[in-house]
Structure 1
């Protein structure tokens, strides 16, 4: 037993042809309902009488499209993109394929191939997370950014060390600079004390996620959640 699958359009035409065969519709009325010419309706009606409902099923169903690209061309194209144009988008990759490799592929076709092969991400996936901007504070001393930068500050004239920096958020002014051996709790204690002696206490310090300022280990979250630096402040 062969199972035939019909589309909604084909099922609708089948109902019209049944009514036409039963004399409930004229050829003109059937043509209007199906959106066809009278000759097309007559041809369909003749095929329906000879073959039944299967005459209405498209002969192209299940067959590859005449416009479908050969699988070998697809494989070759994707191999070239992986090797030479992995960081290109579909539009630029299509241009390079045409200019350099004499391969002409439509941009949309190439985009679908690259999506399928994982060589391109759609707009939603490429769009990064949007962060709300943090606006500068209005007054000097309202917020002070604290950070450390390890570098060969003295080139070969001295050992590698860390520069601790205190920057006023409102004015971007360097409030305090201090070279230390490493970015440690005691180094920040000393630098913060000097800052407070020179400029007084700010409303808040703004720091990164360094272990001096934040508890980053899960095992340490069972306490008060503060580091030694936080307790000292």
Structure 2
């Protein structure tokens, strides 16, 4: 028997036996070294004396196991897998064989059978997908990668939040950062608006397939164009948006997120910053230092950013827009609120026509028709009970008092399709002249009842 065909365990035993015969090791010491009994050491010595090194090799080597399954059983199992579970993994296929066919077999045995028969490919043999590097774009502002990174940016000093990152593909420079409570359309509106005001319009933004940028159900986002609200805003400003199929495709912003999660977190810790507002104030200083350290010069010095055209309204584009039809009584509904247009000559002329409801990130809401803003007042169907309107009827007063208490005790829920954003409390009830309609100062807050005025 060649030493090459011996296992490591058998080689260790051979070395110990040879040392015993050379009187350099005792039987007791060999038993402790090999973790076997002294009787087993004596048996190994006898086998070595009879056949030399070959006597230490297991006689089961090369022979089939006494517990192996028959060839007919193997073929039966593989036939079932081919017929019923061709795309199942070994673990899942084994569960179904036990559950549906009553065939007991270990998953590792089934794995080996499936690999040998070509029904399964081991992870080591699977071809890894190759992502070849892509060169940078030539010009600054030609392609800007955007992404949101959810992280514990303030560690244990503040809540988990999102960082919206804008990075130039040609130079690797950070162009804008904004902290937000979540990655939503209205925060992207505000961040992109600030970016465009500072740098101008890039040729295209490069993003992932987040719902802010891409939708497979256009009718649920924008009934008129098929874009998401963010995509529609960029289209109005003549900016393209490209969605990457994989995170590796937009690797520049993904790698920047890892760097930010290391450096920016520590910079915020050193400065004791623990709020989104304070972090947004600091990021301009961090961007300047980051770009000085890691920014590259573009291959072509031309800046591809474009200024806003005269007909382009940045503030008007960066808002949530939905189309509504005005009724004959000059009313329309949006987010379960009834809007009543002031009966001006223009408002009377748009009866049964479509208008655009513009919901701005700062809480303003305007109703437009062909570029003209229509004045309105609101009637909130969820807040139809007002304690100040209760009259002297005692029975009616008691019923309405109970209803008002029930409404005050539960959350006022809006439509699921209505826009949502964090930090906006004055949404929808500020009328165009700046006053507040229906007596409510902020959305979600009910004025305290004037109990002294009750009968």
After TM superposition, which residue ranges in structure 1, 4 or more long, deviate above 6 angstroms? 126-130, 132-137, 140-143
Q: Secondary structure of the residue that 1:86 maps to in structure 2?
A: coil
CA distance in 2, matches of 1:79, 1:33: 49
What is the distance in 1 between the residues matched to 2:115 and 2:228?
46
Shift of 1:101: 2.7
Q: CA deviation at 1:207?
A: 7.2
Deviation at 1:165, TM superposition (A): 4.1
> Residue 227 of structure 2 aligns to a residue in which SS?
strand
| Superposition deviation, residue 58 in structure 1 | 0.9
Distance 1:89 1:79 in 2: 15
Q: Does 1:61 align with 2:61?
A: yes
CA distance in 2, matches of 1:121, 1:50: 46
- Residue matched to 1:76: 76
Q: CA RMSD in A?
A: 4.4
Q: In the aligned structure 2, how far is the partner of 1:115 from the partner of 1:61?
A: 23
Distance 1:15 1:76, change over 3 A: same
User: Is 1:19 aligned to residue 54 of structure 2?
Assistant: no
1 CA distance for matches of 2:42 and 2:127? 54
The secondary structure found in structure 1 opposite 2:25 is coil
How many residues of Structure 1 are paired with residues of Structure 2 in the alignment? 166
Distance across 1 between alignment mates of 2:69 and 2:147:
47
In the other structure, the counterpart of 2:9 is 9
The structure with more strand, counted as a fraction of residues? 2
**Deviation of residue 61 (structure 1)?**
1.0
Question: Which residue of 2 is the match for residue 48 of structure 1?
Answer: 48
Matches within 5 A, 1:50-129: 50-120=50-120
SS of 1:167's partner is: coil
Contact 1:20 1:27 survives alignment (8 Å): yes
Shift in Å at residue 52 of structure 1? 1.6
CA apart distance, 1:60: 1.1
Alignment deviations for residues 154-194 of structure 1 (CA, whole Å, 9 cap, x no partner)? xxxxxxxxxx9452542x76x9xxxxxxxxxxxxxxxxxxx
**Residue 56 of structure 1: CA displacement?**
0.6
| Shift in CA distance, 139/15, structure 1 to aligned 2, threshold 3 Å | closer
TM-score of the two chains, using structure 2 as the length reference:
0.30
Q: Which residue of 1 aligns with 2:37?
A: 37
Deviation at 1:47, TM superposition (A): 1.9
TM-score by length of 1: 0.53
Contact 1:90 1:107 in 2 (8 A): yes
Higher-helix-fraction structure: 1
For 2:100 and 2:61, how far apart are their aligned partners in 1? 37
User: Deviation of residue 55 (structure 1)?
Assistant: 1.0
Q: Hey, what's the Cα distance between the residues in 2 that align with 1:168 and 1:21?
A: 84
Structure 1 gaps of 5+ residues are 147-163, 176-195, 209-233
Q: Extract unaligned runs of 5+ from structure 2.
A: 132-145, 149-182, 194-204, 206-212, 215-223, 244-455
Query: 1:54–1:90: structure 2 CA closer, same or farther, 3 Å change rule?
Result: closer
SS in 1 for 2:240: strand
User: For residues 225 and 42 of structure 2, what CA distance do their matches in structure 1 show?
Assistant: 88
Aligned in 2, Cα 1:126/1:73: closer, same or farther, shift over 3 Å? farther
Residue pair 1:136, 1:169 contacting (<8 A) in 2 also: no
Q: In structure 1, how many angstroms separate the alpha carbons of the residues matched to 2:74 and 2:93? A: 14
Residues 160-179 of structure 1: pairs in structure 2 closer than 5 A: 165=225, 167-170=227-230
**Within 2, Cα distance between the matches of 1:128 and 1:169?**
34
2:239 matched residue in structure 1? 204
